Structure 1
Amino acid sequence: MQHPLRQARPDDPFLRYHLDESQVVDFLVDEDHVGFIRAGRRSGELWVSALGDDPGRILEIIDFLSARRQVDGIHVHDHVYALLPERLRIPDPGHWSIWLITAPDVAHDLSDWARGAREIDAHDARIDPLLSHSDSAYLMAGDPSIRRWVGVLDGPRLVAVGAESDIADGIPHLVSICTDPEQRRHGHGKAVTAQLVSGAFERGESLVYLEMYAGNKAAASLYRSLGFREVGRYRSGWIPGRAPRPAREPA
């Protein structure tokens, strides 16, 4: 049976593609506005999320849930964030966007681009050092949630990498896509992404999605050229006065 949060907002991209129901520890449904508290995937911090267009109702939901248990961070739609009261506005919030692609969206045959990347071992010792160049990678080599890793090799060097994970209802989620800074602008990121997308579609998946910093114009151009489209923007960050714990994933 579909979770009540998804029943209330069936077309919300965050709920459809990002939400892991196992992490939800409390929630509230107010017609087409919803809120929930969930644990971070890595360090156990608690995030309060509220989704909807009315800032007044969003604030009521956040206050209601925050009174039930202490939370560390907040997450709302991009256009709602600026309307929140000062006590909930983080000085430098994370700004994330969700992009997705379906088979009909694919701009053209991905095989030429995908040919430059190949599947690599999930425990490859070269993965984590390469991902140290990424500010957003949070799933590393050997993580059990990863279905497959792919990479681009230059001789023995791993110069680009990316992975596919399952989070929400088994929907393929592309994560940890990173290119060596010295090897950028050579199409390696496109090769990795094309290999992951084509592999998912070849086994019968209907869509693939990913998340990225909303301000990353180079990545946006790359994903758009493959056929991805942006479907949602969100802001998230630590509530003022709360000590941040290590967490690199999008909230």
Structure 2
Amino acid sequence: MSEVLELTDHDPLVRGTRGAGRGPAWRSGDGRAVAFTGYDAEGRVRSLVGLGPRDETAELVTAVHGELPEDVRVIVPRGTPLDLTQPSDWNFRAAFGAPPPQPAEAAVAWCDDEDAVRDLLTLVSPGTSAWPGDPKVRRWAGIRRDGRLLACLADTSAADGVGHVSAIAVHAEARGRGLGPSITAWAMRRFFAEARDVVTLGVYADNAVGLRMYDRLGFTVDRALTTGLVKRGG
């Protein structure tokens, strides 16, 4: 894994991938493309990440994906010439510094009411990548007003030095009040205070509002990626 980190200049996506250090990992003949495996919270191989020039990444992923279980999803730069099923376009974002102050940060706190989190996500974000009870979730943050949970966020950090947030959701009745940027900024500050040097997240490519929000919060890395299953021959 140290070689992959060096080849990618300690890329925050590489650093934060769960279990990537357990390998295996590969690189193209000239080293411009690299691929490595990512694991879920139970230690099962769940992803094959390919980074580098699109054509070389496609060749490398094609060469190695047959060695992995069929349900392993690939993550590659958007536009990589691979025949993918169930493709999903998203952006990887990373921030290396504290965000500007946001209006409702004082209302954010860590939240242990998983029933309320589940109800909020079911209502406004049923396709979210993290849920209460998911082993990859370390803790939840929330904003409550008048006894109601109006916003939530999951800490799904998986590697030392890298904070990762998921499942950012705001109740429809509370949108437009700055709760989304406030809960995200609050979590970023906590991560940096805990000696993380980068905060990362993923956002669907068609979420224009979210992409602009992360720009305002200082997420300077913006990488266009696609996730999907590689069609196998036969």
Aligned to 1:95: 89
SS at match of 1:93: strand
How much is the aligned-residue C-alpha RMSD, in angstroms?
2.9
The answer to whether the 8 Å contact 2:74/2:229 transfers is yes
Aligned to 1:223: 214
**1:99-128 deviation line (CA, Å, top 9, x unaligned):** 22223x63x334x4311322221x531011
Aligned to 2:52: 52
Q: How far off is 1:44 after superposition?
A: 5.3
Q: How far off is 1:41 after superposition?
A: 5.2
151-160 or 140-149, which deviates more: 140-149
TM-score normalised to structure 2 length: 0.82
Matches within 5 A, 1:27-106: 27-30=25-28, 31-40=31-40, 46-55=46-55, 57-72=56-71, 73-79=73-79, 81=80, 83-84=81-82, 88-90=83-85, 93-103=87-97, 106=99
Q: How far off is 1:24 after superposition?
A: 5.3
The answer to whether the 8 Å contact 1:113/1:194 transfers is no
Aligned to 2:116: 126
Cα distance 1:25–1:135, how it changes in 2: closer, same or farther (>3 A)? farther
Task: From 128, 131, 143, give the equivalent of 1:140.
Answer: 131
CA distance in 1, matches of 2:162, 2:67: 31
CA distance in 2, matches of 1:145, 1:70: 21
Question: How many residues are aligned here?
Answer: 229
Q: Which runs of 5+ in 2 are unaligned?
A: none
Aligned to 1:245: none
Aligned to 1:197: 188
SS at match of 1:125: helix
Task: From 188, 204, 223, give the equivalent of 1:213.
Answer: 204
Cα distance 1:51–1:67, how it changes in 2: closer, same or farther (>3 A)? same
2:164 pairs with 1:173: yes
Moved over 4 A (4+): 22-25, 39-46, 142-145
Aligned to 2:105: 114
197-206 or 214-223, which deviates more: 197-206
